[in-house]
Structure 1
């Protein structure tokens, strides 16, 4: 039968032609066709033409995220606040190289304009090439906009997802079943102890979020300053400081760390900001820290890393929906940059499994407070977060990403750290 007279294939037939091997879940489509095992506990429903256009014009996680966010691709059998099991299924989905006939049939199904990318959802950031109008990557202006995109969603939304700790970084779990908030408190305890902080000393927390580390330190008599590029975070944190009566010891500013005028800090903590710095900026970042910590002082860098040391930007979904301009590399690159700057690195450890547990806890909170979260930010944004948190959990479980803490000191003129010979903190 010629290509001009053959019947147009169904959506299910197009899926079968595109996929290599058995389908790990059931797939149904708006034209009534279906494929995949009927016994599968989870299914994807392709609801309309636009879903097919999203999937065809942006293959991979970006197209799926667009279709899922808009409701054009429906995941059945999981809660939208935690699509973890569906993502595990999709790891077993493998595609063939598209052949000319498949592309022709896609064009027949979608029509002459169907292979033109539909407008992305409003939750999506501009592509990198269009962000250039906001300034050079990691400039003051562009960093501020990137932080605003992710962190200024809604303080109430973060309260619901993160829980009372309002800690948006990897917790440290003494046991598998430790409560999330207790594990976050334990993380602050670990950082505080590694930095050997004492009452009356001065701490700078760069990228301080909602001020959890600042308030933890202030409650123990440390003079603590936090800086963040999120105005909403700074407002929330400063209000929390006042509520706790810590105003004489703690403050959080809406300020770029590069604008901090004070120096001579006893310790500097950098918890979850290096991902936003950019690998090429590591030397300047750690030089700034070296200049602002006193001789004999300690710094701790806590950030997401790769299992290798090749710098790479984050994937398209994370870049467009979660962390615009984010960039990751391995712990070896971070250690090297700190050493080349002049720090002596004393200790490093990988908390990869702890971050998987942290993300699982955030997903549980999102599911528990789903209706409130939807009321606060809208269903599409809440779905993006469910996808992001569950997907990130898988990334840490599969060693696609890691989380390292690196502790270092600025030596004084004696070239001796003046610290105990063995780790002085409890793991």
Structure 2
């Protein structure tokens, strides 16, 4: 049976995207905005070795499957189905067909795949390895993807035609205003990345800001920028685990994009630790990706866990809010910004496409493909409410009237 015929049996005779295969078969309209091309029998060997998203990802990262046109357009047009939707007879035929490929065309995972870090899950050493795997890729690569802000978290678009840089500035300023930052305050920013929040707080609010990150290359980049802007007396980004920060009595703590790496079992100690860093009346802004509900596991799928964020876990917003309250942090405001993350990812995808040749030369074809696939898929997931982005503002109120305004003033 020709490969295109298999595709047609799975998705219908007139799929919204074009499908081409190395055996010369094809289906779908040649004028489709995107096309999936199976370049080699090795693509089917990957599917035989790891059916589902992992096998498809391996085949794409290795170049045995190609996506022509915009990746997001291809993923959005691709019919959504589950294995259980495929009739048993067709599933048996597919399994029988793939067995031969697995036997005659043995394959290995691409070298970009993380097969698991050593040590106890979410120990300091293992967390350091996981963060280094994703973030210590190349600062130059991230500059091309993220743009001048070097901010790798959800932006806030105050209007639909805002640029990515404007939206990242708006995000940092929203966090600063929610925290009530004023000149002379002390801010701890955990998971500081390339120092975006630390720089914003010091430069625009006169705040003494300390940031920590497990990525050495991020910390070194941030320290250079801090020095270049003449902010060394106010701002610092350290290569340090947040659990090793010795200072206390901060007026505010920001955690922007870190909680996804914490793990459910560590949430109580995480929030207790952050509360302990605050002075009475101090505020915590927790900004992180979540899953919409508790109906599916917290741990990310095989593609994300092996190629993007090892040991990543997404909790539902209610779980985070409960753990904050349990630790003595009174939640005073919460909002879901998932559409904003879809817009942010659209900007990053456009940046990667614009700088594709340079990105491939810097980090290699396989790793560039990982980023192209995961960012487009994540954009679609935010649009479809499969994942969300929540900001939660908590106060160490000590059982008294809190320092919060009667109504939000940001």
Of residues 111, 118, 121, the one that matches 1:122 is 111
C-alpha contact (below 8 Å) 1:195/1:298 kept by paired residues = yes
String of CA shifts for 1:194-239, please: whole Å, max 9, x gaps. Answer: 1011111100000000001001111121110000000000000011
User: Gapped runs of 5+ residues in structure 1?
Assistant: 1-8
Contact 2:13–2:27 (Cα < 8 Å) also in 1:
no
2:246 equivalent in structure 1: 261
Inter-partner Cα distance in structure 2 for 1:216 and 1:283: 29
- Kindly tell me: are residues 281 and 21 of structure 1, through their superposed partners in 2, closer, same or farther at Cα, counting changes over 3 Å? farther
Mapping of 1:6-405 within 5 angstroms?
A: 9-19=1-11, 22-76=14-68, 78-79=69-70, 83-92=71-80, 96=86, 97=88, 98-108=90-100, 110=101, 112-114=103-105, 118-126=107-115, 130-131=116-117, 134-219=118-203, 220-309=205-294, 312-405=298-391
List per-residue Cα deviations over 1:341-375 (Å, max 9, x = no partner): 11111000011111011000111111111222112
Is contact 2:190-2:255 (8 Å) kept? Answer: yes
Structure 1 pair 25/56, CA: closer, same or farther in 2 (3 Å)?
farther
Farther off after superposition, 309-318 or 358-367: 309-318
Deviation at 1:99, TM superposition (A): 3.9
Paired with 1:94 and 1:289, the residues of 2 have a C-alpha distance of 41
Q: CA deviation at 1:30?
A: 1.3
Shift of 1:105: 3.1
Residue ranges of structure 2 left out of the alignment (5+ in a row)? none
SS at match of 1:421: coil
- Supply the distance in 2 between the matched residues of 1:388 and 1:104 (Cα, whole angstroms): 30
3-state SS in 2 of match to 1:407: strand
Partner Cα separation in structure 2 for residue 189 and residue 283 of structure 1? 28
Identify the range of structure 1 (346-355 vs 37-46) with the bigger mean alpha-carbon deviation: 37-46
Q: Distance in 2 between matches of 1:100 and 1:213?
A: 53
Deviation at 1:36, TM superposition (A): 3.2
Measure how far apart 1:21 and its partner are: 7.0
Report the CA distance between 1:25 and its aligned residue: 2.0
Contact persistence 1:20–1:94 (CA under 8 A): no
d(CA) in 2 for partners of 1:137, 1:113: 37
- How many residues were matched structurally? 404
**Structure 1 residues 282-307: Cα deviation after superposition (integer angstroms, max 9, x where no partner):** 10000001111110101100000111
Distance 1:53 1:60 in 2: 12
Q: Distance in 2 between matches of 1:35 and 1:300?
A: 50
C-alpha contact 1:309 1:332 (8 A) present in aligned 2: no
Post-superposition offset of 1:59: 2.5
The answer to whether the 8 A contact 2:333-2:393 is kept is yes
Is contact 1:21-1:94 (8 Å) kept?
A: no
Deviation of residue 22 (structure 1)? 4.9
For the 8 Å contact 1:218–1:246, the answer to whether it is kept is: yes
Structure-2 change in CA distance of 1:17 and 1:229 (3 Å): same
Q: Which structure's CA Rg is the greater one? A: 1
- Superposition deviation, residue 334 in structure 1: 0.5
After TM superposition, the score normalised by the length of structure 1 is 0.91
Task: State the alpha-carbon separation in 1 of the partners of residues 371 and 102 from structure 2.
Answer: 33
Asked whether the equivalents of residues 211 and 252 of structure 1 are also in contact (C-alpha less than 8 Å), the reply is yes
Q: Deviations 1:223-267 (Å, cap 9, x if unpaired)? A: 100000000000000111000111001110000000001011010
User: Would the aligned equivalents of 2:33 and 2:73 in 1 still touch at CA under 8 Å?
Assistant: no
User: Over aligned residues, Cα RMSD in angstroms?
Assistant: 1.7
Mapped partners of 1:182, 1:101: distance in 2: 53
Distance (Å, rounded) in 1 between the aligned partners of 2:163 and 2:11: 41
